[in-house]
Structure 1
Amino acid sequence: MSRLVSVLTSTGAVGRVLSSPQKNKRFITAAVSNSGISAFSSQQQQHTKMSTKCLQLENINPHFITMEYAVRGPLVIRAGEIEKELAQGVKKPFNEVIRANIGDCHAMGQKPITILRQVLAICVEPELLNSPLFPEDAKKRALTVLKGCQGSSVGSYTDSAGIEPVRRQVADFITKRDGFEADWQNIVLTAGATTGIKGILSMLKCELGGKKSGIMIPIPQYPLYSATIEEFGMTQVGYYLNESKNWGLDVSELKRSLTEAKKTCNPRALCIINPGNPTGQVLTHENIVEVIKFAHDEKLLLLADEVYQDNIYDKNSKFHSFKKVAMELGAPYNSMELISFMSTSKGYLGECGIRGGYMEIINMDPKVKAMLLKSISAALCPTTAGQVAVSVLVNPPQKGEPSYEQYLSERTHVLSSLKERAELVYKTFNSFEGFKCNPVQGAMYAFPQITIPPKAIEAAKKDGKTPDAFYAFELLESSGICIVPGSGFGQQPGTYHFRTTILPQTDKLKIMLEKFQKFHAAFMDKYK
């Protein structure tokens, strides 16, 4: 979208594009014709004729233009501008921007897990195997990875599906977690969960009977899904989570959504995010059983986004993998097609930039799986640093090993601190006038509903923004806090939300919430 903004600046249209995700999409989509993008104005037409650029808006994939990605949208662009202004000495009512818009753990102060960085360092510089500064179990883990690499170097290409010893470690991890055997040949290592998810969605891009493929995703949802579905020219089939039941998943709503979608597309897959992003809920075992039976009966490929499986804070909640529940159910559910995703970016590792992840492909037709692996091979291989991170994630130090006590202490600290912050955010937001926030049972986000006064809604309309975006921009300009409007994730019509992470370290989080409270009180007073 930033590329589009720069191009549209010359036309005077940038204000309209930035003002609102919904208006943005309607505005641009209206310019899309079968032959490409029509000129936005006579001025743009003249600009096009004069341009010497090979690539212009009217001759690129139109889905690149209509695609949106809220967590890195206009608010984040403005946050970056404010940071530069602060660095240049521009006076603001705050001295820093608090980026609560994205789940970037280390950027918000989380410390790396020592054993991971040790193994990674040895893999990058094998001479450290001779250093007394590194524990023997870190060296052993590094050697396992290096022996799986061509030339014993992480600088070499790996198999497209990843280093075999690491894939075997993933299979062992899943087997121990679920109590059902996992086949290492069904494991594909990925550059974060994102590349795996996009790879599977790309495979589903297929018109049948003149209808596009439809992908069922939760509303609210993580914008990766809506953006990718739009980029691939498929149809988004949203189903609403039940906010009144702590963002629970009602099968009746799945049926309603599916029935409606069949009028215009071919629903092919059902995506579940558990624990939830942006909603922070953890599905119950009973709920998962219902979803599995629904997906089986409707012949839908089940996509289980389980990247937050370590992030469970509620004492009454427990993570259940979709694979485990499907296997427990027995025939016919244990033979249904299911793909699950995991990442090193979340949980207690928080290694977002290293880009490690995996997917387990269950019960896929061997011929289709061969085509998927062929597609994956075109990208050569996932980053080897990410594969090292996956290795440590699924094969952490065990009791009796030199690194165990430190690892356990660091892991426990991260997760207990996140639990504390989840409770703090939940209680604080519910003390605000017009706020209603469900408990953060898991993951690392809160998605509170806010009541926005009519006067503020009118002001938002005049400013060309959705009410929640208007609120978020005023928050950013007044306090330096960057959040994401609920409209970027989807929400029930007539309701307004926003997503914030719980990632700022406790001291900074308390400061953030105090600033938030002062802003909100002033906002309500201003627009009451």
Structure 2
Amino acid sequence: MALRAGDHSQAAMTGVKEKVLTLDTMNSSIRRVEYAVRGPIVLRALELEQELRQGVKKPFTEVIRANIGDAQAMGQKPITFLRQVLALCAHPDLLNSPNFPEDAKRRAEHILRACGGHSLGAYSISSGIQLIREDVARYIQQRDGGISADPDNIFLSTGASNAIVTVLKLLVAGEGRTRSGVLIPIPQYPLYSAALAELNAVQVDYYLDEERVWALDVAELRRALRQAREHCRPCALCVINPGNPTGQVQTRECIEAVIRFAFEERLFLLADEVYQDNVYAEGSQFHSFKKVLTEMGSPYAEQQELASFHSVSKGYMGECGFRGGYVEVVNMDPAVQQQMRKLMSVRLCPPVPGQVLLDVVVSPPAPSDPSFAQFQAEKQAVLAELAAKAKLTEQVFNESPGIHCNPVQGAMYSFPRMQLPPRAVQRAQELGLAPDMFFCMSLLEETGICVVPGSGFGQREGTYHFRMTILPPMEKLRPLLEKLSQFHAKFTQEYS
């Protein structure tokens, strides 16, 4: 509340005045932002870790962070060649060291020549180092079976997240019934709901079909779109493939149907493809939206607008902290693309070390290079272990009464559905908590296991889930899964 005129002299005398920035005066859109992956349950996990360090007795000796896809925090070792090139670029004196292979040295010298002052400490242009964007274009072309990619349509970014928010900023406009709406999958990665809240856009939910391994159904898209048009102007459709948090991999037929739907309904497509290297299930295959769109031919190939995103944070790399990623735009209005370039220039440039790692990811050692064998062995070992952990997670949960887990076809998470007894639901309501938040908080307090409740991602009313990463080392994963399942059984019995 603002100070009354008569209060100014009193404020001056006491030296106390009201804050300029308060919850009442701040941007109200920011207050609506929620990000479950680092939300209240994670804050409590941090407090528990601090209490353990202070010697406070708990029923557990460590907090297990199974809430986030942070591979290296869970013990995954970095890929050697990636770090060798990065080290050489960061400290060029190492180029004289005999401890680095010649192909890593050649790559580092190649990248440094493209940097201002031959240094990683220099700004790059806002869309990213030209040489690296050219390498990304070659990677996309090779991935998509020869379909061309233009470096001028590729923007490097601070992870995929920054690029996603940038494209959403371009899309959002209007007020009231003309306010922009964006269709997002439910369950969804909370970046989308958080960004739309911050931008004061309308979140339009479409539900994935859990009974069909989280399938995407065009009939459900039509339902969501029809209802949304009564109160906003839907302008974009987001698809996460492979899915986060649901772990499904979309079929080519599904992608074609989605593209036809977006074209017919004049929706801009956002394809979140950051888990494209993480496909495990037999019979599943990653198909990029760019490839399918192009192969569908006219009119889709020439007219359907698309932005597709990738990152070094996931895949086999797990280089989350370096914040490297890119977006490729297809069929974007050239004038809008210029505005996108301007918007990115406000942030100066993406982190240059992240750009370096992205370059090595999209242009790995060739079969004739000395580092090829080790690189391939490390990459395949990571992906093979993730595939085994995906299968183990599904198996252990489905052996547990009251828990059902769909096959983890891809990505890095399971999203099991659990039964909660009515008394637990009632108790949660008394505490002002979502029932699955009550379960997950109880799990954390008693076992130290930190997972994220399904309510943070969205779920059908009356169903309860949690998201758990499959990243813990294999020797820790089975005990973790079993402990979680045992706690669910105990929790169910306690509230039955």
Superposition TM-score, scaled by structure 1 size: 0.90
What amino acid is aligned across from residue 369 of structure 2 in structure 1?
A: E
In the TM superposition, residue 208 of structure 1 has moved relative to its aligned partner by: 6.7
Q: Deviations over 1:304-334 (max 9, x none)?
A: 0000000000011000000000111000110
The answer for the alignment partner of 2:331 in structure 1 is 363
1:413-452 equivalence runs, <5 A = 413-452=381-420
Residue 143 of structure 1 pairs with residue 106 of structure 2: no
In the TM superposition, residue 151 of structure 1 has moved relative to its aligned partner by: 0.8
The answer for the alignment partner of 2:172 in structure 1 is 205
Q: Which among 437, 454, 467 is matched to residue 486 of structure 1?
A: 454
In the TM superposition, residue 210 of structure 1 has moved relative to its aligned partner by: 5.1
Residue 189 of structure 1 pairs with residue 156 of structure 2: yes
In the TM superposition, residue 521 of structure 1 has moved relative to its aligned partner by: 1.8
Q: Deviations over 1:376-408 (max 9, x none)?
A: 111110000110010011001111211011101
In the TM superposition, residue 486 of structure 1 has moved relative to its aligned partner by: 0.5
What amino acid is aligned across from residue 121 of structure 1 in structure 2?
A: A
The answer for the alignment partner of 1:457 in structure 2 is 425
In the TM superposition, residue 527 of structure 1 has moved relative to its aligned partner by: 1.2
The answer for the alignment partner of 2:27 in structure 1 is 61
Query: Secondary structure of 1:203's partner?
Result: helix
The answer for the alignment partner of 2:208 in structure 1 is 241
Residue 291 of structure 1 pairs with residue 221 of structure 2: no
The answer for the alignment partner of 2:75 in structure 1 is 109
The answer for the alignment partner of 2:350 in structure 1 is 382
- For structure 2, list consecutive stretches of 5 or more residues without a partner in the other structure: 3-10
Rounded to whole Å, the distance in 1 between the matches of 2:262 and 2:327 is 19
1:43-442 equivalence runs, <5 A = 51-179=17-145, 180-207=147-174, 211-335=178-302, 336-442=304-410
What amino acid is aligned across from residue 239 of structure 1 in structure 2?
A: Y
Contact 2:396/2:482, CA 8 A, preserved across alignment:
no
Rounded to whole Å, the distance in 1 between the matches of 2:20 and 2:217 is 49
Flag the 1:330–1:208 CA change in 2: closer, same or farther, 3 A: farther
Pairwise CA RMSD = 1.5
What amino acid is aligned across from residue 332 of structure 1 in structure 2?
A: P
Rounded to whole Å, the distance in 2 between the matches of 1:58 and 1:86 is 37
What amino acid is aligned across from residue 66 of structure 2 in structure 1?
A: A
Moved more, 515-524 or 77-86: 515-524
What amino acid is aligned across from residue 75 of structure 2 in structure 1?
A: G
What amino acid is aligned across from residue 175 of structure 1 in structure 2?
A: Q
Rounded to whole Å, the distance in 2 between the matches of 1:192 and 1:472 is 29
Residue 522 of structure 1 pairs with residue 490 of structure 2: yes
In the TM superposition, residue 194 of structure 1 has moved relative to its aligned partner by: 0.5
The alignment-based identity, stated in percent, is 55
Rounded to whole Å, the distance in 2 between the matches of 1:236 and 1:521 is 36
Rounded to whole Å, the distance in 1 between the matches of 2:32 and 2:17 is 23
Contact 1:276/1:282, CA 8 A, preserved across alignment:
yes
The answer for the alignment partner of 2:8 in structure 1 is none
In the TM superposition, residue 352 of structure 1 has moved relative to its aligned partner by: 0.3
What amino acid is aligned across from residue 431 of structure 2 in structure 1?
A: D
In the TM superposition, residue 54 of structure 1 has moved relative to its aligned partner by: 2.1
What amino acid is aligned across from residue 375 of structure 1 in structure 2?
A: L
Contact 1:82/1:97, CA 8 A, preserved across alignment:
yes
In the TM superposition, residue 137 of structure 1 has moved relative to its aligned partner by: 0.9
Q: Which among 498, 502, 505 is matched to residue 466 of structure 2?
A: 498
What amino acid is aligned across from residue 374 of structure 2 in structure 1?
A: Q
The answer for the alignment partner of 1:12 in structure 2 is none
Contact 2:184/2:205, CA 8 A, preserved across alignment:
yes
What amino acid is aligned across from residue 90 of structure 1 in structure 2?
A: V
What amino acid is aligned across from residue 466 of structure 2 in structure 1?
A: F
What amino acid is aligned across from residue 74 of structure 2 in structure 1?
A: M
Contact 2:243/2:411, CA 8 A, preserved across alignment:
yes
Q: Deviations over 1:155-186 (max 9, x none)?
A: 10101000011000000000001020001111
Q: Deviations over 1:109-156 (max 9, x none)?
A: 000000010010011111111111111111111112111111111110
Moved more, 164-173 or 428-437: 428-437
Contact 1:160/1:379, CA 8 A, preserved across alignment:
yes
Flag the 1:132–1:497 CA change in 2: closer, same or farther, 3 A: same
Query: Secondary structure of 2:255's partner?
Result: helix
What amino acid is aligned across from residue 356 of structure 1 in structure 2?
A: G
Rounded to whole Å, the distance in 2 between the matches of 1:238 and 1:518 is 33
In the TM superposition, residue 55 of structure 1 has moved relative to its aligned partner by: 1.1
Moved more, 263-272 or 506-515: 506-515
What amino acid is aligned across from residue 228 of structure 1 in structure 2?
A: A
Query: Secondary structure of 1:58's partner?
Result: coil
What amino acid is aligned across from residue 320 of structure 1 in structure 2?
A: H
In the TM superposition, residue 52 of structure 1 has moved relative to its aligned partner by: 3.5
Query: Secondary structure of 2:269's partner?
Result: strand
Contact 2:270/2:306, CA 8 A, preserved across alignment:
yes
Rounded to whole Å, the distance in 2 between the matches of 1:416 and 1:54 is 55
In the TM superposition, residue 515 of structure 1 has moved relative to its aligned partner by: 1.5
Flag the 1:290–1:353 CA change in 2: closer, same or farther, 3 A: same
Q: Where in structure 1 do 4 or more consecutive aligned residues deviate above 4 Å?
A: none
In the TM superposition, residue 495 of structure 1 has moved relative to its aligned partner by: 0.7
What amino acid is aligned across from residue 148 of structure 2 in structure 1?
A: E
Query: Secondary structure of 2:425's partner?
Result: helix
Contact 1:208/1:266, CA 8 A, preserved across alignment:
no
Rounded to whole Å, the distance in 2 between the matches of 1:428 and 1:210 is 47
What amino acid is aligned across from residue 447 of structure 1 in structure 2?
A: F
What amino acid is aligned across from residue 444 of structure 2 in structure 1?
A: L
Query: Secondary structure of 2:55's partner?
Result: coil
Q: Deviations over 1:194-222 (max 9, x none)?
A: 00000000111211785210011000000
Contact 1:305/1:342, CA 8 A, preserved across alignment:
yes
Query: Secondary structure of 1:218's partner?
Result: strand
Contact 1:157/1:380, CA 8 A, preserved across alignment:
yes
Contact 2:182/2:202, CA 8 A, preserved across alignment:
yes
Query: Secondary structure of 1:353's partner?
Result: helix
